[in-house]
């Protein structure tokens, strides 16, 4: 498939035909301008006067033609915004869902708010950008956008994780909250532990999704033994923190318990 056909297909439903056409014409002129500019540059470096006499008028004409297309593309953009049509936005949402399946990207949620656990993905067509976790990208084309999400998602899942340090943070928060009376028996609400960990870090940048991701990695990579204690996450019927499991499902956890292991030091 040629690049022009691909551009039209990928942007189906979101970008109007006149805007697409202005992009198509502009990219064609820019490609020719780049070729001529490279030829002139090489000729100048070689002192190739004959080549320069031939290429410089062509470059001048190509520059003028490109300027016309730049102005045309600018005018088309001035009359249009991605969030302009509800119908086009709906078609764009369908494109995103279809592209996620093609890329085998686990994307949950509905337009404009998605999650590629633990990354929150929010599409803001009015502001013409997409938030991928804490990062913003301005490219809206479905394949390019979701490949950005996929790269960020894979990087998170490959990142190093200190299970012992996280267990230490959980145990410390559990002890403090239990002493403060926040526990029901030995069970301390995970939401309270998350709030305390966020307060201690002095920043709200540690999201609930990232907290859930750390719980997911802890359960995947450790035996949940911390010193003489066994760490236990208790299920909740509602209001808990959703955490994926090894079977591909999601478990809802509401509280954390620490039990002393018999025979431990």
Residues of the chain above pLDDT 90, percent: 66
- Give the confidence band of 261 by pLDDT, cuts at 50, 70, 90: confident
Minimal CA–CA distance to 24: which of 60, 59, 63, 76? Answer: 76
**Which has more pLDDT, 226 or 201?**
226
| pLDDT greater at residue 254 or residue 16 | 254
Main-chain phi, psi angles of 16, to 5 degrees: -65, 150
Q: Quote helix, strand, coil % in the chain, to nearest 5.
A: 55, 20, 25
Question: Structure tokens of 238?
Answer: 């509602």
Residues 207 and 115: beta-carbon distance below 8 Å: no
Tens of pLDDT, residue by residue over 132-142, are 988 999 999 99
Task: Give CA–CA dist 167/224, Å, rounded.
Answer: 8
**Phi and psi based region of residue 202 (left: phi greater than 0; alpha: psi -120 to 50; beta: remaining):** left
Residue-wise pLDDT for 72-83, tens only, equals 999 999 988 888
Tell me what pLDDT residue 189 has. 92
- Amino acid 219: pLDDT: 93
Model pLDDT, residue 88: 87
């Amino acid at each position: 498939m040629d690049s022009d056909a691909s551009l039209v297909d990928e942007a189906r439903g979101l970008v109007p035909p006149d805007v697409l056409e202005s992009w198509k014409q502009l990219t064609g002129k820019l490609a020719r301008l780049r070729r001529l500019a490279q030829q002139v540059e090489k000729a100048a470096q070689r002192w190739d006067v004959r080549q320069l006499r031939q290429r410089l008028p062509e470059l001048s004409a190509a520059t003028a033609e490109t300027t016309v297309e730049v102005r045309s593309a600018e005018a088309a953009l001035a009359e249009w915004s991605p969030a302009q049509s509800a119908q086009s936005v709906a078609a764009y949402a369908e494109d995103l869902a279809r592209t996620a399946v093609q890329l085998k990207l686990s994307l949950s949620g509905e337009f404009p708010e998605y999650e590629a656990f633990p990354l929150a993905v929010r599409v803001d067509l009015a502001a013409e950008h997409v938030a991928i976790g804490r990062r913003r990208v301005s490219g809206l084309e479905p394949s390019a956008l979701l490949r950005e999400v996929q790269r960020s998602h894979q990087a998170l899942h490959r990142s190093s994780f200190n299970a012992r340090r996280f267990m230490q943070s959980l145990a410390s928060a559990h002890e403090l909250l239990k002493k403060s009376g926040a526990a029901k028996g030995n069970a301390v609400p995970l939401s309270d532990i998350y709030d305390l960990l966020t307060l201690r870090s002095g920043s709200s940048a540690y999201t609930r999704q990232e907290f859930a991701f750390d719980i997911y990695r802890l359960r995947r990579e450790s035996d949940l033994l911390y010193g003489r204690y066994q760490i236990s996450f208790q299920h909740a019927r509602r209001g808990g923190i959703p955490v994926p499991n090894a079977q591909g499902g999601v478990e809802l956890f509401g509280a954390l318990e620490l039990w002393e292991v018999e025979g431990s030091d």
